[in-house]
Amino acid sequence: MSERLVVIGNGMVGQRFVEALRARDTGGRWRVTVLAEERRPAYDRVRLSAVFDGVDADELTVHTPDDGVDLRLGEPATGVDRARRVVTTAAGEYPYDALVLATGSYAFVPPVDGTELPGVFVYRTLDDLAAIREHARGRRTGAVIGGGLLGLEAANALRLLGLDTSVVEFAPRLMPVQVDEAGGAMLRRYVEELGVTPYLGVATTALRPGPDGTVAALDLADGRTVDAELVVVAAGIRPRDEPARTAGLPLGPRGGVLVDASCRTTDERIWAVGECAAVDGVCHGLVAPGYATAEVVADRLLGGAATFPGADTATKLKLLGVDVASFGDAHGVTPGCLDVTFTDPATRAYAKLVLSDDARTLLGGVLVGDASAYPALRASVGGPLPAPPLALLAPAGGPGAGAGALPAAAQVCSCNAVTRADLDAAIAGGATDVPALKACTRAGTSCGSCLPMLKQLLDAAGVRQSKALCEHFDSSRQELFDLIRVRGIGTFSRLVAEHGRGSGCDICKPVVASILASLGAGHVLDGEQASLQDTNDHFLANLQRDGSYSVVPRIPGGEITPEKLIAIGEVARDFQLYTKITGGQRIDLFGARVDQLPQIWRRLVDAGFESGHAYGKALRTVKSCVGDTWCRYGVQDSVGLAIALELRYRGLRAPHKLKSAVSGCARECAEARSKDFGVIATEGGWNLYVGGNGGFRPRHADLFATDLSTAELVTLIDRFLMYYIRTADRLQRTAAWIEAMDGGLDHLRSVLVDDSLGLCADLDAAMARHVTSYSDEWRDVLEDPERLRRFASFVNAPGVPDPSITFTRERGQPVPARDAGHRRQPVVLGLPEVRR
Amino acid sequence: MSPVVTLDWMPVCPLDRLDLDRGVAALVDGVQVAVFRTASGLYAVDNLDPVGGAYVMSRGLVGSRGGVPTLSSPLHKQVYDLTTGRCLDLPGVTLTRHRVRCRDGQVEVRLRQEQ
């Protein structure tokens, strides 16, 4: 008979606790009910601000669905009756054998007049952020009360929402808890440069409304006034201990549910984890110690004897390129400790190490401007320095800062308490790459700041990290591209003979086919190249589930004449094809047999169409709105530009399919920001966005350049596409390619705009070659009897149609007969037979 | 209704009609067969993809894995050992193989009765 466990709260720590318990409770000892206040399951509050960078809220979720857990969203606990061992909610009562409080904390709002005004927010939940975004619309000024970690994040968010932003901090410097005076001064310069105005060493005395009743200004204690039509209060957090308080449980001296090192309250059936728990009287407001309490209670509830190991208060903040990190005894409060500081006004880097009195043990430190040494330093706290102090503090760390120098006990991933010894054991156990290490140790799965160290540890252990494409080539796609280009290799057989082994496979062959096509090696079905093409490319059409193909003619920009519409309609009617408008403003014709493809192309080519390359890893469509030709709001000719771009890049083979769109104004009707490259018209020209995608993990494109002339725009897109084609991995979308790039978007900009690698002339020339050498692949096949011969259902019976392809009708159109292939026949299980 | 199986060698096409490393489909006694010519010889297997249920194996990519000649399904890319028909990605899945030879420049296929 299992026991009943009730968890109050479904934040990051509550979720981690439930997962830890469920993973270890293999005997099914606990039946788990989770009562959650918010209506969405646990999400990554640490990355909350990412939603302002365009990350979808759903991407923040950390909740893993578990049928064994009764998760009750939007049902907060209203009381705990310890005598009856029952938790009450508005909906009912939940008896427990054990109760875990995971209620977290709430944002502290200081007692200042006016905090109840409309337009005043806290910065705590996704709902808070949505309300802030909504209120910011059409407003110009904002202010944040509180210049700590969260306050600066909130300030950056307001800045991204387009508000002139101020930060008011009572302490004389920003981030007073983490950073010392010199570090605070450096941080202030960065923050000011971002356009945020700091007011330091001054209290807010009141918030005042404007004529419309919403907040309009802050009064400061020194008599100054700060305009703010939106105010975020980020003055700290307080543990949510009401359930414990009302249930009569003892609290910590500064609030929080008082628990011992086993995270148990004075009631042996009640435990507390995360920010609401005052472990031995002290609350911890960071996720890493919260996770530690979750692990402790999961262990205890299954009969273990784990105790809270103490808190790592290391923090790292990144505010649009400004790194701030602090770890260990950052303020040097250890008696007799020594400081080593490094200030470089030129690069605006500040760093401080706190060492023991004999200068042998690292106690803590502060980094502002360049925090690349942070992972190694944090992991070294309490141990010897991994390198001489200056080598560590100089920007970029220096060679000695590698993870290879760390002691075994050093915590490499503090979010998940993974030590170097744990990682070395995983490597010895067969983990040979970063994903494997993440999977078996959980290191790098939270904030990700230790990921570079995982690579270094693999290197230090002598694990050669493979970039091999497949068993036939030790090279990456990029290396193969360069080999083929520089050595002028024109065939797969020569490439595999000189630089690979075996006879290739379904991974390397299409990659080489794509590279050869990008380098203009002739028609994709010429000679040996034909054998490399994946089936869609081999038949220049898209294979569907029943073995038939679909055909997509190019309709540049989505603009089509009535004559052409009629021609497509006639083809579809005559060949009895299922017809559907695609998501990319084209028309897809389904249900063609292999032997019908040339006949269909012939009709389409005669009507003025060409291949739409729907089959290839190639440019698909450039979608458009109607632009200023028809639209009341359009400011530029989006259709004209979309057609020009689609024709320019048609047939361009790439590591992944490419999509694009052009919107004629900021209303963005063409959804250009969900594309690999998107263009949005402004009054001053074109804005170029790169790295967006739809698909399984949608991502908005990032702004790359603004107010471009058409010529400038085309040049930048040329370079962007060619650089992507040359350097991306197999099947790597543009978004992942930019993310994986050292330096990311800034690096890309320096390469493509400032020509920092001296590549631009070469990229421009390569694109010019593509544009001038384009010819329609369908027409080329129709003109070549050799190639045409391949389009037969059966080599020994060219006139016989494939009998396995049959259709039924749905909504007046043909669709594949579901029982055409015998494997797909429906099997009826356990249904009563109907007697006739 | 199952097709009549005669178990005779049936000519399919001239050898030079087969491109290296690229398949064709043939109808042999009513059965769809996929025929391939690779550097290591001729192979014939059922054209029916045992996983996807469509007659498409002749359109798969041939290659090698660990030195063994392979064929990948064009539908969902499961890889089969051409010499045994065994699926290398899914245990228990097998592609029926047929006999194939070249006589006087003609490729001939004989259906295999055993499954």
User: Cβ contacts (< 8 Å) between A535 and chain B: which residues?
Assistant: 56, 59-61, 74
The SS3 of residue A182 is helix
Give the contacts of A769 (CB within 8 A, at least 6 positions apart): A520
> Tokens at residue A147, please?
């210049």
Please give the pLDDT value at position A829.
Answer: 35
Who among B22, B69, B72 is closest to A530 (CB)?
B22
Residues A191, A196, A200, A206, CA torsion sign: negative
- How remote is the C-alpha of A757 from its chain's centroid? 27
Q: In this structure, are residues A661 and A624 in contact, taking their beta carbons and an 8 Å threshold?
A: yes
Please give the pLDDT value at position A48.
Answer: 81
pLDDT for B12 beyond 90: yes
**pLDDT tens digits for range B50-59:** 999 999 999 9
% of chain B with per-residue pLDDT over 70: 91
Q: Is A795 close to B26, i.e. CB distance below 8 A?
A: yes
pLDDT for A832 beyond 50: no
Task: Compute the average pLDDT of residues A491-520.
Answer: 92
Distance from CA of A549 to the nearest CA of B (A): 11
What's the pLDDT band for A211 if we cut at 50, 70, 90?
very high
- How remote is the C-alpha of A198 from its chain's centroid? 31
> Tokens at residue A449, please?
């700041």
Q: Is B53 close to A821, i.e. CB distance below 8 A?
A: yes
Task: Compute the average pLDDT of residues A172-189.
Answer: 86
Please name the helix (run of DSSP H) or strand (run of DSSP E) that holds residue A362, with its range, or none: strand A362-368
pLDDT for A225 beyond 70: yes
Residue A193 or residue A552, greater confidence: A552
> Tokens at residue A379, please?
């992991």
Closest CA to A803 of A571, A543, A548, A597: A548
Who among A506, A509, A796 is closest to B26 (CB)?
A796
Which residue intervals of A562-689 are DSSP H helices?
Answer: 562-574, 597-606, 638-649
Q: In this structure, are residues A247 and A8 in contact, taking their beta carbons and an 8 Å threshold?
A: no
User: Cβ contacts (< 8 Å) between A471 and chain B: which residues?
Assistant: 65-66
**Which domain CATH number covers B93?**
2.102.10.10
CA gap A243, A809 in Å, rounded: 61
Who among B13, B61, B64 is closest to A796 (CB)?
B13
Who among A503, A795, A820 is closest to B13 (CB)?
A795
The per-residue DSSP string of A761-815 comes to: HHHHHHHHHHHHH---HHHHHHT-HHHHTT--S-TT-TTS--TT--EEEETTEEE
What's the pLDDT band for A21 if we cut at 50, 70, 90?
very high
Please give the pLDDT value at position A119.
Answer: 96
pLDDT for A767 beyond 80: yes
Please name the helix (run of DSSP H) or strand (run of DSSP E) that holds residue A70, with its range, or none: strand A69-72
CB atoms within 10 A of CB A262: 17
Q: For chain B, which residues lie within 8 Å of any Cβ of chain A, measuring from their own Cβ? A: 11-13, 17, 19-22, 24-28, 32, 35, 38-39, 48, 50-56, 59-67, 69-70, 72, 74-75, 77, 79
Give the contacts of A834 (CB within 8 A, at least 6 positions apart): none
Give the contacts of A547 (CB within 8 A, at least 6 positions apart): A802, A804, A805, A821, B54, B55, B56
Who among B11, B20, B54 is closest to A821 (CB)?
B54
CA gap A251, A267 in Å, rounded: 12
Who among B22, B56, B72 is closest to A547 (CB)?
B56
> Tokens at residue A430, please?
């067969």
> Tokens at residue B1, please?
């209704």
What's the pLDDT band for A185 if we cut at 50, 70, 90?
confident
pLDDT for A569 beyond 70: yes
What's the pLDDT band for B113 if we cut at 50, 70, 90?
low
pLDDT for A253 beyond 80: yes
User: Cβ contacts (< 8 Å) between B48 and chain A: which residues?
Assistant: 804, 821, 823
Q: Is A503 close to B69, i.e. CB distance below 8 A?
A: yes
Q: Which residue of A has its CA nearest to B30?
A: A803
Closest CA to A136 of A215, A213, A209: A215
Least reliable range by pLDDT among A614-618, A715-719, A817-821? A817-821
Beta-bridge partner residues of A252 = none
pLDDT for A779 beyond 80: yes
pLDDT for A824 beyond 50: no
User: Cβ contacts (< 8 Å) between B15 and chain A: which residues?
Assistant: none
CB atoms within 10 A of CB A462: 7
CB atoms within 10 A of CB A70: 13
CA gap A759, A736 in Å, rounded: 21
What's the pLDDT band for A604 if we cut at 50, 70, 90?
very high
pLDDT for A329 beyond 60: yes
Length of chain A: 836
What's the pLDDT band for A447 if we cut at 50, 70, 90?
low
**pLDDT tens digits for range A782-805:** 999 888 988 999 999 988 899 999
The per-residue DSSP string of A292-320 comes to: HHHHHHHHHHTT-----------EEEEET
User: Cβ contacts (< 8 Å) between B77 and chain A: which residues?
Assistant: 506
What's the pLDDT band for A835 if we cut at 50, 70, 90?
very low
Q: What is the mean pLDDT of chain A?
A: 88
Q: Which residue of B has its CA nearest to A506?
A: B61
Q: In this structure, are residues A374 and A367 in contact, taking their beta carbons and an 8 Å threshold?
A: yes
Who among A504, A545, A795 is closest to B25 (CB)?
A795
Q: Is B74 close to A543, i.e. CB distance below 8 A?
A: yes
User: Cβ contacts (< 8 Å) between B62 and chain A: which residues?
Assistant: 503, 531
Distance from CA of B12 to the nearest CA of A (A): 5
> Tokens at residue A336, please?
């007799």
Task: Compute the average pLDDT of residues A79-104.
Answer: 95
pLDDT for A346 beyond 80: no
What's the pLDDT band for A510 if we cut at 50, 70, 90?
very high
DSSP A373: T
Least reliable range by pLDDT among A160-169, A336-345, B26-35? A336-345
Q: Which residue of B has its CA nearest to A549?
A: B56
Cα end-to-end span (Å), chain B: 17
Who among A502, A530, A820 is closest to B19 (CB)?
A530
Residue A533 or residue A456, greater confidence: A533
Who among B12, B52, B64 is closest to A505 (CB)?
B64
pLDDT for A363 beyond 60: yes
Please name the helix (run of DSSP H) or strand (run of DSSP E) that holds residue A561, with its range, or none: none
Distance from CA of A502 to the nearest CA of B (A): 6
User: Cβ contacts (< 8 Å) between A505 and chain B: which residues?
Assistant: 61, 63-65, 70, 72, 79
Distance from CA of B113 to the nearest CA of A (A): 19
The torsion region of residue A561 among left (phi > 0), alpha (psi -120 to 50) and beta comes to: beta
Q: In this structure, are residues A675 and A663 in contact, taking their beta carbons and an 8 Å threshold?
A: no
Q: A405-432: string of b/e by CB count within 10 Å (b at 16+)?
A: bbeeebbbbbbbbbbbebbbebbeeebe
CA gap A180, A794 in Å, rounded: 78
Closest CA to A229 of A308, A158, A277: A158
Residue A262 or residue A438, greater confidence: A262
Closest CA to A515 of A494, A484, A469: A484
Least reliable range by pLDDT among A220-234, A264-278, A697-711? A697-711
CA gap A674, A735 in Å, rounded: 10
Q: What is the CA radius of gyration of chain B?
A: 13
Substitution target in B10, B29, B59 with the highest count of A β-carbons within 10 Å is: B59
What's the pLDDT band for A394 if we cut at 50, 70, 90?
low
pLDDT for B67 beyond 70: yes
CB atoms within 10 A of CB B36: 24
Domain count, chain B: 1
pLDDT for A317 beyond 90: no
Q: Is B26 close to A794, i.e. CB distance below 8 A?
A: yes
Cα end-to-end span (Å), chain A: 49
Q: In this structure, are residues A670 and A663 in contact, taking their beta carbons and an 8 Å threshold?
A: yes
Closest CA to A523 of A765, A789, A782: A782
Q: Which residue of B has its CA nearest to A798?
A: B26
Q: Rounded to 5 degrees, what are φ and ψ at A344?
A: -125, 95
Residue type at A366 in one-letter notation: V
Q: In this structure, are residues A365 and A328 in contact, taking their beta carbons and an 8 Å threshold?
A: yes
Beta strands in A385-509 (DSSP E): 411-413, 418-419
Q: Is A796 close to B27, i.e. CB distance below 8 A?
A: yes
Q: Which residue of B has its CA nearest to A544?
A: B75
Please give the pLDDT value at position A836.
Answer: 34
CA gap A233, A250 in Å, rounded: 29
Q: For chain A, which residues lie within 8 Å of any Cβ of chain B, measuring from their own Cβ? A: 471-472, 502-506, 508-510, 528, 530-532, 534-535, 538-539, 543, 545-547, 793-797, 800, 802, 804, 820-824
Q: Which domain holds residue B41?
A: 4-114
Closest CA to A405 of A453, A357, A368: A453
pLDDT for A834 beyond 70: no
Please give the pLDDT value at position A205.
Answer: 93
CB atoms within 10 A of CB A113: 12
Distance from CA of B15 to the nearest CA of A (A): 11
Q: Is B70 close to A505, i.e. CB distance below 8 A?
A: yes
Please give the pLDDT value at position A517.
Answer: 92
The SS3 of residue A357 is coil
Q: Is A505 close to B22, i.e. CB distance below 8 A?
A: no
Distance from CA of A621 to the nearest CA of B (A): 24
Substitution target in A507, A525, A526, A794 with the highest count of B β-carbons within 10 Å is: A794
Task: Compute the average pLDDT of residues A214-228.
Answer: 94
Distance from CA of A788 to the nearest CA of B (A): 13
pLDDT for A550 beyond 90: yes
Residues B5, B7, B12, B16, CA torsion sign: positive
Q: Is A821 close to B67, i.e. CB distance below 8 A?
A: no
User: Cβ contacts (< 8 Å) between B32 and chain A: which residues?
Assistant: 794, 802, 804
Please give the pLDDT value at position A820.
Answer: 44
User: Cβ contacts (< 8 Å) between B46 and chain A: which residues?
Assistant: none
Q: Which residue of A has its CA nearest to B38?
A: A503
Task: Compute the average pLDDT of residues A493-514.
Answer: 92
CA gap A468, A508 in Å, rounded: 10
CB atoms within 10 A of CB A212: 10
Task: Compute the average pLDDT of residues A124-143.
Answer: 93
pLDDT for A674 beyond 80: yes
Q: In this structure, are residues A431 and A468 in contact, taking their beta carbons and an 8 Å threshold?
A: no
User: Cβ contacts (< 8 Å) between A822 and chain B: which residues?
Assistant: 53
Closest CA to A385 of A406, A404, A371: A406
Q: How many CB pairs under 8 A join A and B?
A: 107
Q: In this structure, are residues A182 and A192 in contact, taking their beta carbons and an 8 Å threshold?
A: no
Q: Is A503 close to B59, i.e. CB distance below 8 A?
A: no
Q: Which residue of A has its CA nearest to B78?
A: A506
Q: Is A546 close to B54, i.e. CB distance below 8 A?
A: yes
User: With helix as H, strand as E and coil as C, how does A649-716 read?
Assistant: HCCCECCCCEEEEEECCCCCCCCHHHCCEEEEEECCEEEEEECCECCCCCECCEEEEEEECHHHHHHH
